[in-house]
Amino acid sequence: MRKSKETRDQLLHELRNAYEKGASIRNLAASTGRSYGSVHSMLRESGTIMRGRGGPNHRAVKPSA
């Protein structure tokens, strides 16, 4: 059974709010039982401005001298 448009719109709103408050896509995927790609697509669909990549181990690539 497909979810209603209202239910989907609510989920998009909740995902966007959580992401904009700092939740990672991976955490949102785990908490909703959806795939990373599905959550990413829904965030984009909702008009979310995506953060740059990076986490505690992310390092910017330094240009070669």
Please calculate the CA angle 32-34-37 and round it to the nearest 5 degrees: 130
pLDDT value of position 9: 92
pLDDT value of position 64: 65
pLDDT value of position 4: 80
pLDDT value of position 29: 97
pLDDT value of position 22: 94
Q: Please, are residues 39 and 29 in contact by the beta-carbon 8 Å criterion?
A: yes
pLDDT value of position 6: 82
Q: What is the helix, strand, coil percentage profile of the chain, to 5? A: 50, 0, 50
Q: Tell me: the pLDDT tens digits for 5-62?
A: 889 999 999 999 999 999 999 999 999 999 999 999 999 999 999 998 876 655 666 6
Which tokens sit at 57?
A: 């181990």
Q: What is the DSSP letter of 53?
A: S
